[in-house]
Structure 1
Amino acid sequence: MLVDSHCHLDRLDLAAHGGSLDAALEAARARGVGHFLCIGVSAGNAAAVKALAEQYPDVDCSVGVHPLDLEPGAAPALDWLLRELEHPRVVAIGETGLDYHYEPEAAGLQREAFRLHLEAARITGKPVVVHTREARVDTLALLREAALPQAGVLHCFTEDWAMAKAALDIGFYISLSGIVTFRNADALREVARQVPADRLLVETDSPYLAPIPHRGKPNLPQYVREVAEFLAELRGVRFEELAEQTTDNFQRLFPLAHLNRG
């Protein structure tokens, strides 16, 4: 069994499945994907991801505000986030974090919002899903400052081994997406070989970043199998072993997730 540990089911391009999310999820299940974590990115889509988690027994969700979805000049309210996190299908916080690639001018606001999400993680005990791009020093500094007792994950990891090691040292997990299959991702593949087996997750980040051989097309949860198969070969383990290990890791990191492993 595989878990797509990070997907945006409310944003999928469903043309390949006749416009049907049911069909897209069924296609993923047919390829061994037994659970999906649907990720919140804004106050505006919180209701949508919660509704999907309520509708499908093999879907859980997170709620949070992506650093590129912050309202101009305003971090989300902590009381709003804490209320959202009370929902029984909300098993994680985020995605949150820092992205200085697209909005370096908003760095201060992003840091304020990230701290707020980390405070919610401290209060609730729920794990945090972290997006980071071109903000390595500040991301690690804020994670260390928060000193959370529970683990979290750096999702869609694209940084170097030094950052991965620093995150691992403070208890975080590393999640790899289809980017690891890209032709120019040699440095990331080196990281992928070194991440300890018990700290590794797989994801699609669909509808974005489809793995080879689907690159350039809309990504779908079913393609997490390509990511897992690639990583198994890269790491020199059987696919079944990697699937079982990453599912165990997901269950450990997200203990409130409603996995049914048969």
Structure 2
Amino acid sequence: MSERSGFPPVPDLVLPHPVVDNHCHLDIARDGAALPVEEALARAASVGVTRFVQVGCDLPSARWAVEASAEHPQMIAAVALHPNDAPLHGADLEAALDEIERLATAHDRVRAVGETGLDFFRTGPDGVAAQTHSFRRHVEIAKRHDKTLQIHDRDAHDAVLEVLDSEGAPDRWVMHCFSGDADFARACLDRGAYLSFAGTVTFKNAADLREALAVAPRDRILVETDAPFLTPAPHRGRLNSPYLIPHTLQVMAEVRGADLGTLCAQIDRNTEAAFGGAW
């Protein structure tokens, strides 16, 4: 596939130890472009990104995630209604949540419930009640079926923690695309979170994120793309794909003063622990 689609070149760096992209959306086309799944997986494998968590964020993409994880041994699935999607269901929200629970138990390659959570940036006050109810139901589903919970949190740090404190967090839960500072990182870590860092940690204006990364214990750090979004520097603004994770990991290693291979191996172990074992 040519690069006119907006996808950056494959990095020269091959990671010294394989890692997992624990949050990607390989089904989503952005700006009218998407890599075929087989090509996305092959490009990623060429730089050492060998396993993936394919994340559903509405009913069609959740169904796709389940099907794709059954077809590709490198992939497991996460299923949920995104917090911005939940208010759109109106009176049908309960039926949609029931479908998410059915998909979460469809087969053993569905390891996670996510991405759920709260987003007060795109959804206004009228959607808060539906978002909160949906988030609580997702927490319940994850706990009942022993699934990892993946949380989307945008401009809602305190509210996310309030829900988790009132419901009780699952044994395994991930702050997807962690977006807080060091103090919020500590608050999440105190509650048992894994912190997942995306390409945003490479942005010049992301000093708070880098401080959060620096204080996180080494056994609580994950990496992701959120592809096709959040492309790391030096390609910010172009299309993202799992093969670009080396750019993010280089910055993460620098922030932590860590050897890149050691960090990759640790993240690989962490991801298996966060998602209930190897696949």
TM bin (shorter chain) = over 0.9
How far apart, CA to CA, are the structure 2 residues paired with 1:15 and 1:81? Answer: 27
8 A Cα contact 2:80 2:116, kept in partner: yes
Match of 2:204 in 1: 183
How far apart, CA to CA, are the structure 1 residues paired with 2:169 and 2:214? Answer: 27
* Distance change >3 Å, CA 79–CA 144, structure 1 → 2: same
Cα distance, 1:12 vs structure 2: 4.7
Match of 1:214 in 2: 235
Match of 1:69 in 2: 85
* Distance change >3 Å, CA 234–CA 120, structure 1 → 2: same
Q: Which residue, out of 211, 215, 219, partners 1:198? A: 219
How far apart, CA to CA, are the structure 2 residues paired with 1:150 and 1:254? Answer: 10
SS at match of 2:238: coil
How far apart, CA to CA, are the structure 1 residues paired with 2:29 and 2:266? Answer: 27
Q: Which residue, out of 220, 234, 244, partners 2:265? A: 244
1:139 maps to 2:168: no
Q: Which runs of 5+ in 2 are unaligned?
A: 1-17
How far apart, CA to CA, are the structure 2 residues paired with 1:188 and 1:61? Answer: 27
SS at match of 1:73: helix
Cα distance, 1:178 vs structure 2: 0.4
Q: Which residue, out of 21, 46, 66, partners 1:4? A: 21
Matched letter for residue 92 of structure 1: A
8 A Cα contact 1:228 1:239, kept in partner: yes
Identity, in percent, stands at: 38
* Distance change >3 Å, CA 149–CA 117, structure 1 → 2: closer
1:104 maps to 2:124: yes
8 A Cα contact 2:81 2:100, kept in partner: no
8 A Cα contact 1:177 1:227, kept in partner: yes
8 A Cα contact 1:64 1:117, kept in partner: yes
How far apart, CA to CA, are the structure 2 residues paired with 1:12 and 1:109? Answer: 27
Instruction: Give the TM-score taking structure 1 as reference length.
Output: 0.93
How far apart, CA to CA, are the structure 1 residues paired with 2:32 and 2:260? Answer: 29
SS at match of 2:27: helix
Match of 1:152 in 2: 173
SS at match of 1:115: helix
8 A Cα contact 1:129 1:153, kept in partner: yes
CA RMSD of aligned residues (A): 1.8
8 A Cα contact 1:65 1:76, kept in partner: no
How far apart, CA to CA, are the structure 2 residues paired with 1:66 and 1:131? Answer: 8
Single out whichever of 193-202 and 70-79 deviates more from structure 2.
70-79
Cα distance, 1:73 vs structure 2: 2.4
SS at match of 2:90: coil
Match of 2:62 in 1: 46
Match of 1:123 in 2: 144
How far apart, CA to CA, are the structure 2 residues paired with 1:57 and 1:22? Answer: 12
SS at match of 2:251: helix
Instruction: Give the TM-score taking structure 2 as reference length.
Output: 0.87
Single out whichever of 197-206 and 225-234 deviates more from structure 2.
225-234
SS at match of 1:189: helix
SS at match of 1:68: coil
How far apart, CA to CA, are the structure 1 residues paired with 2:269 and 2:259? Answer: 16
8 A Cα contact 2:142 2:170, kept in partner: no
8 A Cα contact 1:60 1:90, kept in partner: yes
8 A Cα contact 1:60 1:257, kept in partner: no
Cα distance, 1:13 vs structure 2: 5.3
Cα distance, 1:63 vs structure 2: 0.6
